Amino acid sequence: MVAFSSILGHEKCDSYFIFSGETSLGDNFRVFLYFLGLAYCFIGLSAITTRFFQSMENVVKHTRKVVEVDPVTKTETIRYEKVWNYTIADISLLAFGTSFPQISLATIDAIQNIGKLNAGGLGPGTLVGSAAFDLFPIHAVCVVVPKAGELKKIADLGVWLVELFWSFWAYIWLYIILEIWTPNVVTLWEALLTVLQYGLLLTHAYAQDKQWPYISLPIARDERPEDWVPEESPYFQQEAHEKVDWSEIRHVNEENGDTADIFSFRSENPTDPLYVRVPEIDDEAEILDKAKEARLKDTHLFAIWRQQFVDALMLESPKSKKFRNVFLCIARIFWQLLLLPWRFLFAFVPPCQIAHGWISFICSLLFISGIAYIVTNLTDLISCVTGINAYVIAFTALASGTSWPDLVASKIAAERQKTADSAIANITCSNSVNIYVGIGIPWLIDTLYNFIAYREPLRIQNAGGLSFSLVVFFSTSVGCISVLVFRRIIFGAELGGPRIWAWITCAFFMLLWIIFVVLSSLKVSGFI
């Protein structure tokens, strides 16, 4: 087999990942190893996403006690209200968290290129490619996730339209910077304005959610779940019984075998030893509060943390129904062994019961940043060995791999939410976050340094290719949104519906993604 460097007329790459002896290996073997490492990092991102999602659910479930006194009777009324607004949780915690791999990668790329007048193309390429992956393949998955005939629609169209507007405007704004306002360069003010627009998105969405006059769209809101975290579906209850991966319902230790977390109180199976009976209480927030007090009283956080390591090292029992087929049994065991190092590593993340899940949430993001750093180095090596433009690798392999948390989060939301709000909001808001934060912050870092050190703006590599990708993305995204609108008109919902039409929609979305990838790759490679 002819080496990549010979085919592309590329000089031998002297860079290495771990030890200098890598350079003596054949280019084909090195590329194979680096891609293998890249794939394993993506598996790690998938594993940490489960822990991140669990911690985020605890953050969003946090309530505060509100005491109201009747001015006439002086009677005190106690109620519990959510700390987090439904819409803000979608835009900030969910969208920002699931986009953190791309944001970390772009920021690391910017820091590595700091002091240079030219910005690296790895970050912007990954973020634009991630936007396409979010919009097309993730929509494709979410459309077919509901059961046959089940319909899930967006309950708050007003909020979705606001999020969609800012998502489209983000890419229009990026094109204006690159091609119209200051072609091929980014100034400090442009980078700063890019970041500040994320705050405008949050404000506008909150105003729409609260139906502020003169600012919000006069669109009626359908019934939507009051809690961000919905009731569990039978699928998740089954997963909890079998303790697969990061089960949300766990024994704390042998001494407290009947102790379960707050998710267990909705169980419809009263005989299950994993569940504990709780007296009927009208206020769900009060249930959560009492559950928290009981859990902290009967258990110790270090015992919970210790159990995380035990669960991480445990494999699924062969007696499970999933192991009836011998081949599936072997494949399942192999997959669990593959995940074992990641699961053990992520067991060091503190339990989400601490500080309402915030410490676990932040530690999950730190682990994601560490994986993103490894991914950045591996991508540079692949580009170095093969001679393939790093931008092409960025919006194909990197964009798909780092967008895996987005896919997992939207899929879970499409399965567990009664509406399509969170699943689709995660897609549109992640695209906004990719530009306003993911590109804005790295550009702000580089432009600020260049302004102080050289009084020069930041030059953008492959600005023409990036602008072309934006045009292709914008054109294909119109087709994607149009299909969602037609589905709303014809079927009454964006997700689910007749199985045949769901799969046709899925295939169409995947076709749009292929068109984006092919055209963008040809442009960067100089074929068009």
Residue (of 127, 186, 125, 123) closest to 444 by Cα position? 186
For the residues 213-241, what does the mean pLDDT come to?
A: 58
Per DSSP bridges, beta strands 458-460 and 118-119 are: parallel
pLDDT at 155 over 90: no
Answering whether pTM is above 0.85, one says no
Identify the CA nearest to 126 among candidates 150, 105, 156. Answer: 105
Cα–Cα distance measured from residue 171 to residue 129, given in angstroms and rounded to the nearest whole number: 12
Task: Report residue 142's pLDDT band, with 50, 70 and 90 as the boundaries.
Answer: very high
Who wins on pLDDT, 36 or 74?
A: 36
pLDDT, tens digit, for every residue of 100-129?
888 888 888 888 878 776 776 667 778 888
User: Considering only CA atoms, which of 242, 244, 281, 245 is closest in space to residue 265?
Assistant: 281
Determine if residue 318 is left, alpha or beta; phi over 0 gives left, psi from -120 to 50 gives alpha, anything else beta.
alpha
pLDDT at 25 over 80: yes
Residue 82: CB partners within 8 Å, gap ≥ 6?
A: 60, 61, 62, 63, 226, 227, 285
Q: What is the DSSP letter of 434?
A: I
Query: 63 vs 294, which has greater pLDDT?
Result: 63
Is residue 264 predicted with pLDDT exceeding 60? no
Q: What is the pLDDT of residue 124?
A: 78
Class of domain 84-219+362-525: mainly alpha
Q: Name the nearest CA neighbour of 58 among 390, 333, 256, 295.
A: 295
Among 92-96, 342-346, 441-445, the minimum mean pLDDT is found in 92-96
pLDDT for residue 491: 92
Distance of alpha carbon 314 from alpha carbon 263, whole angstroms: 22
What does the block give as tokens for 28? 């084909």
According to the per-residue pLDDT averaged within each range, which of 219-223, 317-321, 434-438 is highest? 434-438
Quote the DSSP letter at residue 211. Answer: T
Average pLDDT score over residue span 70-93? 82
Q: What is the pLDDT of residues 402-441, one digit of tens each?
A: 787 778 778 888 888 888 888 888 788 888 888 899 889 9
Residue 211 region, left (φ>0) first, then alpha (ψ -120 to 50), else beta?
left
Q: What's the per-residue H, E or C state across 129-145?
A: HHHHHHHHHHHHHHHHC
Phi, psi of 459 (to 5 degrees): -85, 140
